[in-house]
Structure 1
Amino acid sequence: MERVLGVGGYFMRATDPVALGAWYRDCLGLDADENGLWRPEAGVTVFAAFESETDYFGSRAQQTMLNFRVRDLDAMLAQLRAKGADVAGETQDMAGVGRFGWVTDPEGNRVELWQPS
Structure 2
Amino acid sequence: MSNPGLIKSYKVGAAVAPRRIVTLASGEVVQATAATDALIGVSDLGAANAGDVADVVLSDLADVEYGGNVAEGDWLTADDDGKAVAAAPGAGAYASIIGQAMVAGADGDIGLVHIAKHTLTGETV
Give the TM-score of the pair, scaled to structure 1: 0.27
Greater strand proportion:
2
Give the TM-score of the pair, scaled to structure 2: 0.26
